Amino acid sequence: MTDSKYFTTTKKGEIFELKTELNSEKKEKKREAVKKVIASMTVGKDVSALFPDVVNCMQTDNLELKKLVYLYLMNYAKSQPDLAIMAVNTFVKDCEDPNPLIRALAVRTMGCIRVDKITEYLCEPLRKCLKDEDPYVRNTPAVCVAKLYDINAALVEDQGFLEQLKDLLSDSNPMVVANAVAALTEINETSSRPLIEMNTQTVNKLLTALNECTEWGQVFILDSLANYEPKDEREAQNICERITPRLAHANAAVVLSTVKVLMKLIDILPRDSDFIAQLIKKLAPPMVTLLSAEPEIQYVALRNINLIVQKRPDILKQEMKVFFVKYNDPIYVKMEKLDIMIRLAHQANIAQVLSELKEYATEVDVDFVRKSVRAIGRCAIKVEQSAERCVSTLLDLIQTKVNYVVQEAVVVIKDIFRKYPNKYESIISTLCENLDTLDEPEARASMIWIIGEYAERIDNADELLESFVEGFHDENTQVQLQLLTSVVKLFLKRPADTQELVQRVLSLATQDSDNPDLRDRGYIYWRLLSADPAAAKDVVLAEKPLISEETDLLEPSLLDELVCHIGSLASVYHKPPSTFVEAAVPLRKTLPKSTVGGSEEPSLIGGTSMPSTQQTTVIPSQDSLIADLLSLDLTPHPSGGNSHQPYAQSAFSSGLDDLLGLGSDGLLGDSHGASGLGGTASPPSVGFGGGVQPMVGMAGAGALPFGAPTLPMGGMGGMGGMGGGDIGGIGGLGDIFGGITPAAGSGYAAPKQIWLEAARSKGTELQGTFLRRSGQIVMDMTFTNRAMQALSGFAIQFNSNSFGLAPAQPLQVRPLPPNQSADAALPCKTDGPVQKMEPLTNLQVRIHFYSHFRFMECRNSL
Amino acid sequence: MIGGLFVYNHKGEVLISRIYRDDVSRNAVDAFRVNVIHARQQVRSPVTNMARTSFFHIKRGNVWICAVTRQNVNAAMVFEFLNRFSDTMQSYFGKLNEENVKNNFVLIYELLDEILDFGYPQNTDPGVLKTFITQQGVRTATKEEQSQITSQVTGQIGWRREGIKYRRNELFLDVIEYVNLLMSQQGQVLSAHVAGKVAMKSYLSGMPECKFGINDKLTIEGKGRPGADDPAKSTRTAVAIDDCQFHQCVKLTKFDTEHAISFIPPDGEYELMRYRTTKDIQLPFRVIPLVRETSRNKMEVKVVVKSNFKPSLLAQKIEVRIPTPPNTSGVQLICMKGKAKYKSGENAIVWKIKRMGGMKESQISAEIDLLSTGAADKKKWNRPPVSMNFE
């Protein structure tokens, strides 16, 4: 066998030669030619010109040749859709072949040919195969339905394949079940509405199949179980019990998927029960065992362990030693292990960790060494008792005079100073000795910070800083900014002999620099100093907040989301899937709300309860309707408005519609429903409950600190009110807002919705709604800070919108410490600037707040 | 799921390319070559994301295998699959290298068609695949045979053919253990763990169900059996296993309830179980290395090996591997026992001893001449550890 020769043909006129060979009578020659064609295809040559000739070879009883031709077809059918039709007959014939292998092959291949005309022909054979007696053949179409759904979703639904696919879930053959599950899960993810509902029965079937199917099948089943939310604790416990044996499987994917399901279910189970304690005990060993697998799998496992350790630190707290780096670990495994070591470090094991880290700091790989040095610093900050030892270790490392080690050490020592001020100043002199070796901006900036901070204790601080000022223009911005601040600090501490220096730096920063940040900071200092030196002292030398222990923890909300994706790419990147996958529908998985602990449900006003998933689908695309409505409301008609006014105020307390003075019309639906607004305003074809409509483009968002989140917000109070108004007219929304009958007259306010998700805005969650209080529109909001730092300085601004809505008074929110929420009600008026928005319900609001020193901006579209 | 799968040679030329999903285009092939293969040192993760496309790669021999996807796939599964794919290829045509891949590209395409459908891994057991994907072209199988194949591929016991017959029924069992040891400079053991595996070779007829009882001395942590935590029970006689993992043929639920390994074995060689222990590890040998750098281009290495087991036992085929710096030019060796040789290709001194009794000691000393190579000299030698093997 020397098939490699096919790779070496590079002659001219090759295509022509192949053509004649393909049409040759001799079977042997034909086969050779097809092989050559496939080889050229692999290398990336375009051999599509041979399409008809290759298709001619399809009718053969040689399975090997057939497979090659099929392979060719899959590659080129798309570019030659008309010619591909030629192959259909053979396909259909093959689907009837007595040999199950060929039947399956034909269906499988047909599914891969993504030409509309062919898919039409696919339906019939597919239906037959779904009922084939041979499990091998049944197995194939399960996946094939998913393929077809990908090409033409409507066709699949019309032909009833989904039902047949669901039937396969109860197939006798476990592998068929597994593939059906995989297909259904995929279809579920891409479709706009849930196509299958998992219930206790199907889950039980899956759990039974789990014990019998192949390793891959087990992965599919476990992954789909992760999406299921058990009804009660008993069911959850039952699932846990039945899947825990999977932890001993040799396939890492099975183990990790099991861990994922367990981690999710643990949240449902009552806390502190024996069962959980036992479960957690069982979780640790398999994860440790994953670390003796292939390095790539170790990497995936470590990234996941990193998440698990953050979520439940108790699981692996005893296992520090297994994360010690081995000599022959690939670098990516080493780096991850180092991260986990720091997370697991605590008082009891810190000595061990430190001695390890010290070893690592003498390794060869530069990045790894740097990270180790940083890790030592993090230990010092995390475990106070060890700080002293860490500092002395760092000093030892500085003595090695290895350039990058020294630089890194300087950076972490700066952090240690921040955490333990006025404790380890004795080492400053050693640091100063190494001043000349620092050439990286971060290290230089750190060193300058230290000099500025301890200027009063360093005798020659002015000289040291002066030496930096010499080359001011050559420095990186980071260093320049730090130098500016440090010189000012120095001046404030020792005003006598440093005036000249400070003036030089200030003029350098303000006059000779193009950098706006630097210039602005320079001016601020300058004015502060010239206006009121005492105030300057208060500002510049203010007490700094201590830095927190865990600096690089993930945001809790992100962590929760990632825990639901254990084993998957999201858990490897530590990013939510939406950031690297283009999905038709952003599907967010969240941990199930614990039945025990207090959870932050969106607070519902007015006693209407709706599952939150429905809320997002409420966004109607009823431009035309609103357009008509709007003509009424923006120019308040005293006549129309008046007549309804009493109703509006007594019967309903809220809703943008009656703010606009017309909702009442519709809300009186029982009396003159259809004749009301709905009837005149909207053609019945207006689609309600349509998919989520992204209302504002993301363009330009990248430049903002967080991409401007576009929020599916149509369903806010305004819409709620609109809905009310439409009940009489269209009735579509009435269903969605089930239970609100116009006649009831109960004050209705749309429940608060999440306008801004924490994961998309660095941890600030904003829920809100519009409602009406004593005749005034009020924007009712709840801010929740899920970030690590406190937020303050809230301010709000409305962009011009269709309703002329604008805040009547400034937003008042108290500074928000981490993990707390604050409610705020913002009265609004409707005499602001009016601008027609597209769609009309679109309302853009900017909310500003300070997190630490950063200025943030969010744009919400409602 | 997996959108496409590519195999490259070390230069980055494509040997195999199979695309399963529309969202992956041929451009992905080039993106991986340019950004990963050609920029080897910079890419330091087996998963790379470029323009919303994720690339998973493993390297076997001089061949890169890369899976591409644009979805949020199960990463562990992709790597497990890639490993299994390379195992399968090896069991078909031996060593995985460029030459073999080129020689068998038709076969590989056939395999890829079978083991991955629309990006979903299917049965990857080489034993079963060999029943219907053969290198000799297609056997004209009878109808019965065909249905037998298909039922087996999808059946509950996907790893064993029916109707296997041997004149002699044999079952071999090897226990292979890797001791991983971390020692401080003072010779104190910092951490040690044993990763062991039970490798089996079975030549049995029919569909036998094998059962291994585990004796009571074995306790498995975390299994939460009543009494397992009882300190009186976990005395020195107990062999505590931290964790174990089993081949897919083992019935895991039975292991949980009955504490016995019960399975229908695949035919031929396979790895039945893997385990890990960290407690009460008695080291069979002690290796004490002494390194002295006498001058800039001379080094003295002395390694003492002490056997630490009962004198009645015997260790065989001992092989000690002492790494040397890459700029070694010559080595003079003196050893008390066995044979030693410097292998320049592997940058190591290999010292072999045929057999050695318990509580004995042996040593080797070596003088290493180093080449002074200017700039490269400055680069630190990262002192790999000494390793040893024995039976």
pLDDT in tens, B244-273: 888 888 888 777 777 788 888 888 888 888
Compare all CA atoms of chain A with the CA of B115 and give the residue at the minimum distance.
Answer: A216
**Percentage of residues in chain B having pLDDT higher than 90:** 8
Q: Measured between CB atoms, which of B15, B150, B385 is closest to A101? A: B150
Edge-first strand listing for the sheet containing B170-183? B170-183, B189-203, B268-277, B243-246
Compare all CA atoms of chain B with the CA of A333 and give the residue at the minimum distance.
Answer: B45
Domain spans, chain B:
4-154, 170-277, 285-389
Q: What is the DSSP string of A619-652?
A: ----HHHHHHHHHHHSS--HHHHHHHHHHHHHT-
Residue B52 to chain A, least CA–CA distance (Å):
5
| Nearest-angstrom CA–CA distance, A616 and A755 | 11
Domain at B285-389, CATH class: mainly beta
B104 with A3: Cβ contact below 8 A: yes
Q: Measured between CB atoms, which of A7, A364, A580 is closest to B380? A: A364
Residue A317 to chain B, least CA–CA distance (Å):
14
Are the C-beta atoms of B131 and B96 separated by less than 8 Å? no
Q: What is the DSSP string of B49-109?
A: EETTEEEEEEEETTEEEEEEESS--BHHHHHHHHHHHHHHHHHHHSS-SHHHHHHTHHHHH
Per-residue HEC secondary structure of A369-431 comes to HHHHHHHHHHHHHHCHHHHHHHHHHHHHHHHCCCHHHHHHHHHHHHHHHHHCCCCCHHHHHHH
Residue B311 to chain A, least CA–CA distance (Å):
32
Q: DSSP letter for A47, please.
A: -
pLDDT higher for B385 or A751? B385
> Which residues in chain B have their CB less than 8 angstroms from residue A46's CB?
none
Compare all CA atoms of chain B with the CA of A331 and give the residue at the minimum distance.
Answer: B44
pLDDT higher for B331 or B381? B331
pLDDT in tens, B119-142: 898 888 877 787 777 755 444 445
| Nearest-angstrom CA–CA distance, B184 and A498 | 52
| Nearest-angstrom CA–CA distance, A332 and B44 | 6
Residue A722 tokens, joined: 């609109």
| Nearest-angstrom CA–CA distance, A841 and A712 | 11
| Nearest-angstrom CA–CA distance, A320 and B244 | 19
Q: What is the pLDDT of residue A594?
A: 42
Strand partners, A792: A850
A216 with B120: Cβ contact below 8 A: yes
pLDDT bin (cut points 50, 70, 90) of residue B145 is low
* ipTM value: 0.79
Residue B354 to chain A, least CA–CA distance (Å):
27
Strand partners, B171: B202
Quick one: average pLDDT of B29-53?
81
Compare all CA atoms of chain A with the CA of B27 and give the residue at the minimum distance.
Answer: A44
Are the C-beta atoms of A778 and A828 separated by less than 8 Å? yes
Compare all CA atoms of chain A with the CA of B191 and give the residue at the minimum distance.
Answer: A321
Residue B207 to chain A, least CA–CA distance (Å):
16
Q: DSSP letter for B298, please.
A: E
> Which residues in chain A have their CB less than 8 angstroms from residue B229's CB?
none
Cis peptide bond prior to A684, omega within 30° of 0: no
User: CA A235, A236, A241 angle in degrees (round to 5)?
Assistant: 95
Decide whether B170-277 matches B285-389 in CATH topology. yes
A174 with B156: Cβ contact below 8 A: yes
A38 with B22: Cβ contact below 8 A: no
> Which residues in chain A have their CB less than 8 angstroms from residue B70's CB?
581-582
Q: DSSP letter for A801, please.
A: B
pLDDT in tens, B171-228: 888 888 888 777 766 667 767 778 888 888 888 888 888 888 776 556 554 443 333 3
> Which residues in chain B have their CB less than 8 angstroms from residue A326's CB?
180
Short-list A766, A743, A741, CA closest to A755: A766
A248 with B123: Cβ contact below 8 A: no
Q: What is the pLDDT of residue A770?
A: 64
> Which residues in chain A have their CB less than 8 angstroms from residue B46's CB?
295-296, 299, 332
What residues contact A739, with CB distance under 8 A and at least 6 apart?
A608
Q: DSSP letter for A327, please.
A: T
Short-list A241, A250, A281, A314, CA closest to B228: A281
- Is the sign of the CA dihedral A243, A249, A255, A257 positive or negative? negative
DSSP H/E element including B221:
none
Short-list A528, A513, A451, A437, CA closest to A482: A451
Domain B170-277 grouped into CATH 3.20.20.140: no
B76 with A105: Cβ contact below 8 A: no
- CB < 8 Å from A in window 254-313 of B: 255-256, 271, 274, 276, 278
DSSP H/E element including B178:
strand B170-183
Q: How far is C-alpha A723 from the chain's CA centre?
A: 32
Parts of chain A with a pLDDT under 50: 1, 584-590, 592-749, 851-862
Q: How far is C-alpha B45 from the chain's CA centre?
A: 20
Are the C-beta atoms of A218 and A246 separated by less than 8 Å? yes
Residue B130 to chain A, least CA–CA distance (Å):
14
Beta carbons within 10 angstroms of residue A267's beta carbon = 19
Residues belonging to chain A: 862
Q: Measured between CB atoms, which of A246, A251, A283 is closest to B80? A: A251
> Which residues in chain A have their CB less than 8 angstroms from residue B44's CB?
331-332, 335, 367
- Residue with token string 């390194």: B291
CB pairs under 8 A between A and B: 276
Short-list B215, B221, B214, CA closest to B276: B221
Residue B9 to chain A, least CA–CA distance (Å):
12
A182 with B120: Cβ contact below 8 A: yes
User: Hey, is the C-beta of B27 within 8 angstroms of any chain A C-beta?
Assistant: no
B137 with A146: Cβ contact below 8 A: no
Residue A399 tokens, joined: 């003595």
Tell me the backbone φ, ψ of residue A845, rounded to 5 degrees.
Answer: -125, 135
User: CA A526, A532, A537 angle in degrees (round to 5)?
Assistant: 80
> Which residues in chain B have their CB less than 8 angstroms from residue A136's CB?
149-151, 153-154
| Nearest-angstrom CA–CA distance, A178 and A171 | 10
CA distances from A643 to A185, A556, A638, A665 (A): 54, 51, 8, 10
Show binding-site residues of B. Answer: 339, 341, 343, 352, 354
> Which residues in chain B have their CB less than 8 angstroms from residue A584's CB?
none
- Is the sign of the CA dihedral A634, A638, A642, A643 positive or negative? negative
Beta carbons within 10 angstroms of residue A815's beta carbon = 14
Short-list A611, A624, A652, A603, CA closest to A769: A603
Tell me the backbone φ, ψ of residue B18, rounded to 5 degrees.
Answer: -135, 125
A173 with B243: Cβ contact below 8 A: no
Query: What's the start-to-end Cα distance of chain B, in Å?
Result: 44
| Nearest-angstrom CA–CA distance, B108 and A651 | 73
Tell me the backbone φ, ψ of residue A443, rounded to 5 degrees.
Answer: -65, -40
DSSP H/E element including A603:
none
**Best of A243, A296, A304 to disrupt the B interface by mutation (most B CBs within 10 Å)?**
A296
Which amino acid, A340?
I
**The pLDDT of residue B340 is above 70:** yes
Q: What is the pLDDT of residue A832?
A: 66
Pairing mode, strands B218-220 and B239-241: parallel
A248 with B180: Cβ contact below 8 A: no
| Nearest-angstrom CA–CA distance, A439 and A476 | 11
A139 with B106: Cβ contact below 8 A: no
Residue B251 to chain A, least CA–CA distance (Å):
8
Q: What is the pLDDT of residue A660?
A: 37
| Nearest-angstrom CA–CA distance, A525 and A626 | 53
Residue B367 to chain A, least CA–CA distance (Å):
24
Q: What is the pLDDT of residue A765?
A: 66
> Which residues in chain B have their CB less than 8 angstroms from residue A320's CB?
none
- CB < 8 Å from A in window 116-175 of B: 117-118, 120-125, 132, 135, 137-138, 141, 143, 146-147, 149-151, 153-156, 158
Residue A486 to chain B, least CA–CA distance (Å):
36
Q: Measured between CB atoms, which of B45, B72, B384 is closest to A570? A: B72
| Nearest-angstrom CA–CA distance, B86 and B92 | 10
Short-list A240, A301, A574, CA closest to B77: A301
Quick one: average pLDDT of B38-67?
84
User: Hey, is the C-beta of B180 within 8 angstroms of any chain A C-beta?
Assistant: yes
**Best of A213, A225, A243, A251 to disrupt the B interface by mutation (most B CBs within 10 Å)?**
A251
Are the C-beta atoms of A148 and A107 separated by less than 8 Å? no
Helix A116-130 / helix A135-151 crossing angle, nearest 10 deg: 150
Q: Domain B4-154 maps to which CATH number in 3.30.450.60, 3.30.230.10, 3.30.1380.20, 3.30.70.260?
A: 3.30.450.60
Are the C-beta atoms of A736 and A640 separated by less than 8 Å? no
> Which residues in chain A have their CB less than 8 angstroms from residue B144's CB?
none
